[in-house]
Chains A and B, each alone.
Chain A
Amino acid sequence: MTTPPLHARPRPVPLSRRLTPMLFVLPALLLTVVVIAFPLAYTLYQSFTNWVITSPNPPKFIGLANYIELLSDRRALQSLGRTVLITVFSVGLQMVLGVMMALVMNKHFFGRGLFRTLALFPVVATPVAISLIFVTMMNPQSGVLNHFLQGAGLGPLQWIYSEKSVLPSLILVDTWQWTPFVMLIALAGLATLPNEPYEAAMLDGATPWQTFWSITLPMLMPSLFVALLFRAIDTLKLFDTIYAMTQGGPGTASETVNLYLYTLSFNYFRMGYASSMVIALLAIVLGVTLVLIRARKLAEKNA
C-alpha cells in the first residue's frame, strides 16, 4: 500500500506517469479482448441469426427466435437441470469431505508430509486420463470397483452404463479429483487461526465437537467460501470428465449444458442456436458468481 508522506501536497500527476499503469496491463488486456471478448461479442451477434454451418443458405437475422426456442427446448432445460444437480452434489460432498480431511491432516502426525503430497496428485493429474482409468474401473463385468462391491456383499452396479447411476458415478469421480483442493484451501485457512479461542474453549471444558462448531467452522468460513466459489465455477464448466467418460450418455442421461452445447455446435453445426445457449450459460455462470460474492460480503458484514 502506498501511504503518501504527510507533508506532501497533491500535485497534478504528469500524463506519462498516469499512462504507465496502462502500459503494464495493455498487452494482457489486448490479448484478452482478441481471444475472448471479441469472439464473445461475435457470439452475441450470432445468437440472433439462424446460422447453420452445413446449410447452403446465408444466415438470416431472426431476432429473439433462438432464445424463445431455448426456453421450450426440453433437452436444453434438462441439461441445465443435470448441470445444477452435479454442481450441488459434487461441491457439497467436496466441501464436507475436504474439511474433514483438512481437520485430520492438520494434526502433526508421523507421515503427514507424505500424505499431503499424495493428496495433491488428483488435483494435478490430467482429467481425461483419470476419467478413462475410472471408465475401466467402472466396467460392469471386469471392473475393479464391482469386484470390491461384491467382496463387501453388495450387488454389482452398472456405474456409467445405466441412466440411474451415471450421474452419481460422475459426481464420484469429480469428488475424488477435487476434494483435496478443498482440503488445501481449508488447511491454509486453519494455519491462520489464532490460538486464544481454543485455549479459552479448553478452559471452559468444551468438547472437540463443540469447539469445531462454535470456533473452527465460523473462523474457517472465509476460506471455505473461496473454495466453494472456485469449485462451483469449475463444476458448472465441467467438460473433460463427462465427455471422456460418457459423452453425455447413455442416451442423454449425463448430458450437461456444456455437453449439449458441444453437440449442437460440433455435431449439428447449429451455430446460431448454440450461440444463444452460450450467452444464456454465461449469464447463469456470471449470475451464480455474483450471487456468491454478494452473499460472502453480506456474511462478512454480519459477522
Chain B
Amino acid sequence: MTVTHAPVKAPTTARRPKNKWVREHLLPLLISALFIVPIVFVFYWMVSMSFQTQVEISSNPPTFWPKAPTTEWYSELMRRMPFLRYTWNSLVVGVLATGIGLAIGVPAAYAIARWRIGGLGTLFLITRITPAISFLIPWYIIAKRLNLSDSLGIITLLHITITLPLIIWIMIGFFEALPTDLEQSATVDGCNAWQSFLLISVPLVKPGIVAATILAFIQSWNNFLFAAVLGGPESQTLPVTVYGMLSFEQANWGPLAAAATLVCLPVIIGTIFFQRQLVEGLTAGALKG
C-alpha cells in the first residue's frame, strides 16, 4: 500500500480541491487498477484468442488485437461436435440440480433456522467439506454395476451434492434474520407450519432465494469432475467439452479459446445482471456459515 504523507504546511486553499480529488478518486482508482487489470486481461486474452487466425495465435510476439477477426473457431466447434447438445446437457443438469436443491434445501434451511436444529446444520456443513472424489469412487462403481454411466440422471444427482449444501447454508442466514412476529400471528389465525412457511416466510426471503439459485446454478454449470468421470458421449457437459479441446490438439488453441469463451459467457452475463444478488449470496453463505 502506498501511504502518501501529508505535507507539513497546510496547502493553499486554491490547491485543496484538486488534492482532495487526487486522494479520493485518482489514487484509489489507480491502486484498484493494479488488481483489476490482471483480472480483465485473462478474459480479454481468452476472447481475443478465440477471434484470431491460426497464424496470429501462434505468432511471436503474441497478437493482442486480431487484425481480421475470424469466427472460424466458433463454426468449427459447432460443425465438429454436437456442441449445442453439450450446452443443453449442462443446462438440464444445472436447472434440475438447482431446482431439486431448492425444493428440498429451502424447507430444510427453514427448519434448521426456525427450530434451531444445530446438529443438522453441521451435517450439511460436513457435506460441503467432504472432497467430491471421496463419494465419487463409490458412485462410479454403482454406475458401472447398474449400467447407469453416461446418464444425465446420475450426473444431476451428484450435482445436487454441490447445490444442496450451498442453498441450505445461504438460506439459513436469511431465515435467521427474519422476524417471527408475522408467522406467530399467522399461527394464531390458524395457519399450520407449512402454510406459514410457504405463505409468510418464503415470500419474505425471496432475495435470498434468488441469490441461492444463481450461485447454485453457477456452481453446477462450472463443475467438471462428476461429468468427467461419470459422463460419456451422450451426457457430456460443457466443462468436459472444453477440457477435451486441449487434449485433442496440442497447439490448436483457437477452438479451445472459443469453447472456453462460450462456457464462461452465460455466467459472466449473469454476473453483470445479478451482481447484487450474487454478492449477497456469496457473503451470506460464507459469513453466516
**Chain A residues within 8 Å of B, Cβ to Cβ:** 1-2, 17, 20-22, 24-25, 27-29, 31-32, 35-36, 39-40, 42-43, 46, 53, 97, 100-101, 103-105, 107-112, 115-130, 132-137, 141-144, 147, 176, 179-181, 184-185, 188-189, 207-209, 223, 226-227, 230, 233, 236-237, 239-240, 243-244, 258, 261-262, 265-266, 271, 274-275, 278, 281-282, 285-286, 289
Contacts and interface: CB of A to CB of B under 8 A. Distances in A.
A110 B168 contact: no
5 contacts: A17-B193, A124-B270, A133-B46, A185-B287, A188-B283
Given A24-B193, A32-B124, A121-B43, 20 more contacts: A25-B108, A32-B127, A35-B161, A39-B139, A46-B138, A53-B141, A97-B35, A108-B24, A110-B29, A115-B33, A120-B275, A121-B39, A121-B268, A124-B268, A128-B243, A136-B49, A147-B60, A184-B282, A237-B131, A271-B137
A176 B38 contact: yes
Contacts of B139: 35, 39
Contacts of A31: 104, 160, 164
A181 B282 contact: yes
B3 interface: yes
A35 B224 contact: no
A97 B158 CA distance: 34
A241 B270 CA distance: 23
Interface centre among B3, B111, B160 (most CB of A within 10 A): B111
Nearest to A271: B137
Interface string B139-165: 111100000000000000110110010
Interface string B160-181: 1100100010000000000010
A103 B26 CA distance: 15
A285 B129 contact: yes
B209 interface: no
Contacts of B256: 132, 136
Contact of A117 (B25, B117, B275): B275
Nearest to A130: B42
Contacts of B238: 126
B133 A32 contact: no
B131 A129 contact: no
A130 B246 CA distance: 12
Interface in B187-215: 193-194, 197
Contacts of B164: 28, 31-32
A161 B149 CA distance: 34
B135 A35 contact: yes
Interface string B1-44: 10100000000000000000000111011011101101110110
Contacts of A179: 35
A238 B110 CA distance: 31
Those 7 A-B pairs whose CB atoms lie nearest each other, nearest first? A24-B111, A39-B138, A28-B108, A129-B260, A27-B104, A107-B28, A109-B28
Nearest to B139: A39
Interface residues of B, number: 99
Contact of A266 (B140, B263, B287): B140
Contacts of A239: 131-133, 224-225
B160 A35 contact: yes
B265 to A, nearest CB: 10
Contacts of A135: 246
A43 B180 contact: no
Given A36-B161, A110-B25, A123 B108 contact: no
Interface string B247-289: 0000001001101110110011011100100110011001101
A29 B123 CA distance: 9
A266 to B, nearest CB: 7
Interface of B: 1, 3, 24-26, 28-29, 31-33, 35-36, 38-40, 42-43, 45-46, 49, 58-62, 103-105, 107-108, 110-112, 114-115, 117, 120, 123-124, 126-135, 137-142, 157-158, 160-161, 164, 168, 180, 184, 193-194, 197, 218, 221-222, 224-225, 229, 238-239, 242-243, 245-246, 253, 256-257, 259-261, 263-264, 267-268, 270-272, 275, 278-279, 282-283, 286-287, 289
B141 to A, nearest CB: 7
Nearest to A150: B61
B101 to A, nearest CB: 9
A123 B142 CA distance: 33
B129 A115 contact: no
Given A184-B282, A188-B287, A262 B133 contact: yes
Contacts of A20: 193-194
Given A43-B135, A43-B137, A119 B35 contact: yes
Contacts of A121: 39-40, 43, 268, 271
B269 to A, nearest CB: 10
B42 A137 contact: yes
Nearest to B192: A20
